Amino acid sequence: MDMDSRGTLIMDTYRNPRYRYAQEDSDLILEEVNRSCGDRVQLYVRFRRDTAVPGKGEPGQGDSSIPTRAGSEADAPVSGTERERVIGEISFQGEGCSVCLSSAELLCRFARGRGLGEIQRSARAFESFLTVETEGGQAGEPGIPEELSVFRDLQRFPMRQKCALMAWRMMATL
């Protein structure tokens, strides 16, 4: 993807977000502030109630030991073998630069319908992709969604990496 295409995708997702709204019935609300620049993002996550994917094993299915928020209806144990939580709905609100809010939008696009373990692995892979001092990983490799290649140039700008990683790091730490 050339430089113009990357800039166009970042600005398009920043100006025309599909997932920028608050959910009143979310299971989790996560918030992060980048103190160095003032970016602020809130993620709203609702897990699917109708199904869960088996934890462990095949690609697209992650760890079964997912921490949950105490007291939530979504925390009720899944009968049978342990199951992984699947994202039913995810959205965000926030103020910040185009890199920060575009990255949050791309996270929401990627995460919907996926298991939390897969999202966490992708978040860690994206962080490695951005923060390596050498060539490092490539977007499109297993675990790194292809659309994230728009942030390739940030490998040279550590302060901007924080903007791109903010929403992804929140999901990685669940």
pLDDT digits (tens, 9 = 90+) for 138-162: 544 556 777 887 888 888 888 889 9
Q: What is the pLDDT of residues 116-140, one digit of tens each?
A: 999 999 999 988 888 875 455 554 4
pLDDT (0 to 100) of residue 76: 37
Where do the DSSP E strands lie in the chain?
Answer: 28-33, 40-47, 53-54, 83-84, 87-95
- What CATH number has the domain bearing residue 168? 3.90.1010.10
pLDDT digits (tens, 9 = 90+) for 32-90: 999 989 999 999 999 998 754 544 333 333 323 223 232 333 333 333 334 688 999 99
- Amino acid letter, residue 66: I
**Total domains, the chain:** 1
Q: Which long-range contacts (CB under 8 A, 24 or more apart) does 156-164 make?
A: 158/131, 159/36, 159/37, 160/99, 161/130, 161/131, 162/34, 162/36, 162/37, 162/39, 163/34, 163/37, 163/39, 163/96, 163/97, 163/99, 163/100, 163/103, 164/99, 164/100, 164/103, 164/130
pLDDT value, residue 141: 56
Range of the domain at 145: 3-172
pLDDT of residue 148: 84
pLDDT (0 to 100) of residue 131: 82
Top-confidence residue, 25 or 142: 25
Residue 13 pLDDT > 70: yes
DSSP symbol at 77: P
The pLDDT confidence band at residue 10, using thresholds 50, 70 and 90, is confident
